[in-house]
Amino acid sequence: MAQVTIYSTPTCVYCNAAKVFFKEKGIAYTEYNVGADVEKRKEMITKSGQMGVPVIDIDGQLVVGFNQPKIKQLLGIS
């Protein structure tokens, strides 16, 4: 199974949509609230060059935003 990490904030609509998607598909993920965790925010910015959320890391491949087709492709699901 893929290693999935989502950098998000509690009020982000697209972050919440991504988490619902992962739950519906039975995809385990690690979540970091970058609104509260300064170190994880720095990590996200270093990895992606982005300050916007969500940033989703799937086995080292980054997806910025809730790009469902790209996420499905990286996870090998339909």
- Say how many CA atoms lie within 13 Å of 14 toward its Cβ: 13
For the purposes of burial, counting CB atoms within 10 Å of the CB of 66, is it exposed (0-12), middle (13-18) or buried (19 or more)?
A: buried
Query: Contact 45/71 with Cβ under 8 angstroms?
Result: no
> What pLDDT does residue 73 have?
97
Amino acid at position 77, single letter = I
Reading phi first (left if > 0) and then psi (alpha if -120 to 50, else beta), residue 76 is in left
State residue 9's pLDDT score.
Answer: 97
Intervals of the chain under pLDDT 50: none
Q: What is the CATH number of domain 4-75?
A: 3.40.30.10
Q: What is the pLDDT of residue 22?
A: 98
- The per-residue pLDDT for 78 is 86
**What are the residue ranges spanned by the domains of the chain?**
4-75
Instruction: Look up the pTM and report it.
Output: 0.95
